[in-house]
């Protein structure tokens, strides 16, 4: 597809892919738990990990990443119109993050978009991912604050994609994606930022106590 219809189809497909509530589905399958009712009330991997354990959290993490990658790759398949294609792929990746955070399938609720943002970045700027992920891992290892790592990753992705684009190794659509998606990630962590400042933020490994009925 080409032109406006192709662009709209690619972006819409990205949103719907991102809107699939993986964390909610895994919570129901793994323990009949509605993750929207426990912990941070988000559907992302961190809340699933605290609620159901590391294994199920890893499943959600990988599938949420796949949503971002899939949105970018699907856009490239759907939209075949020369140079604008990378901009449409970036827009589809951003749409997936929006779909993840505000899913039409579950009343416009969702997660914070970190894993899905990372997935889109894998599709658009894999070198930036290689630069940012070690920093995030180091922060989690040293502090056990997933939120701090997520915030650093969002900011780091903006810097990394800008450097790559300026060096003609990356693309400006990837930079635009990193700025837009990263800004959504940072905005979604407003409560975490407040807790980090107050010294009350929870660390990874601290489990949520939930009943079997969620």
Residue-range domain boundaries for the chain: 3-198
Region 9-29: what's the mean pLDDT?
Answer: 96
Q: How far apart are CA 68 and CA 117, in angstroms?
A: 6
C-alpha to C-alpha distance for 202 and 205, rounded to whole angstroms:
9
Task: Label residue 211 by pLDDT band (50, 70, 90).
Answer: very low
pTM score, two decimals? 0.92
Q: What is the pLDDT of residues 70-79, one digit of tens each?
A: 999 999 988 8
Name the band, by pLDDT with cuts 50, 70 and 90, for residue 22.
very high
pLDDT over threshold 90, residue 213: no
Q: pLDDT: is 11 or 39 the higher one? A: 11
Average pLDDT, stretch 43-55?
A: 92
3-state secondary structure of 109: strand
Give the C-alpha separation, 33 to 195, whole Å. Answer: 25
Closest CA to 6 of 105, 117, 88: 88
Please give the pLDDT value at position 210: 52
| Secondary structure (DSSP) of 184-204 | HHHHHTHHHHHHHHHT-PPPT
Convert the pLDDT of each residue in 88-142 to its tens digit: 999 999 999 999 999 999 999 999 999 999 999 999 999 999 999 999 999 999 9
What separation in angstroms does the CA of 30 have from each of 57, 60, 67, 172, 206?
A: 11, 11, 20, 41, 19
The pLDDT assigned to 119 comes to 98
Do residues 106 and 20 touch, judged by C-beta distance below 8 A? no
What mean pLDDT, rounded, does the chain reach? 92
């Amino acid at each position: 597809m080409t032109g406006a219809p192709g662009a709209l189809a690619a972006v819409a497909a990205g949103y719907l892919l991102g809107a699939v509530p993986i964390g909610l589905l895994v919570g129901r399958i793994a323990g009949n738990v509605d993750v929207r009712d426990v912990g941070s009330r988000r559907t992302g991997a961190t809340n699933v990990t605290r609620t159901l354990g590391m294994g199920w959290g890893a499943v959600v993490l990988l599938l949420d990443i796949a949503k971002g990658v899939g949105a970018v790759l699907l856009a490239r398949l759907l939209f075949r119109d020369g140079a604008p294609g990378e901009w449409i792929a970036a827009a589809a990746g951003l749409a997936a993050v929006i779909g993840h955070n505000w899913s039409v399938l579950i009343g416009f609720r969702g997660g914070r978009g970190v894993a899905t943002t990372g997935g889109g970045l894998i599709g658009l700027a894999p070198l930036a991912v290689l630069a940012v992920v070690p920093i995030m891992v180091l922060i989690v290892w040293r502090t056990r604050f997933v939120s701090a790592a997520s915030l650093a990753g969002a900011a780091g992705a903006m810097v990394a994609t800008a450097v790559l684009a300026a060096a003609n190794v990356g693309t400006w659509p990837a930079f635009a994606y990193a700025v837009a998606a990263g800004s959504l990630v940072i905005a979604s962590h407003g409560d975490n930022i407040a807790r980090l400042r107050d010294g009350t933020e929870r660390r990874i490994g601290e489990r949520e106590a939930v009943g079997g009925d969620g």
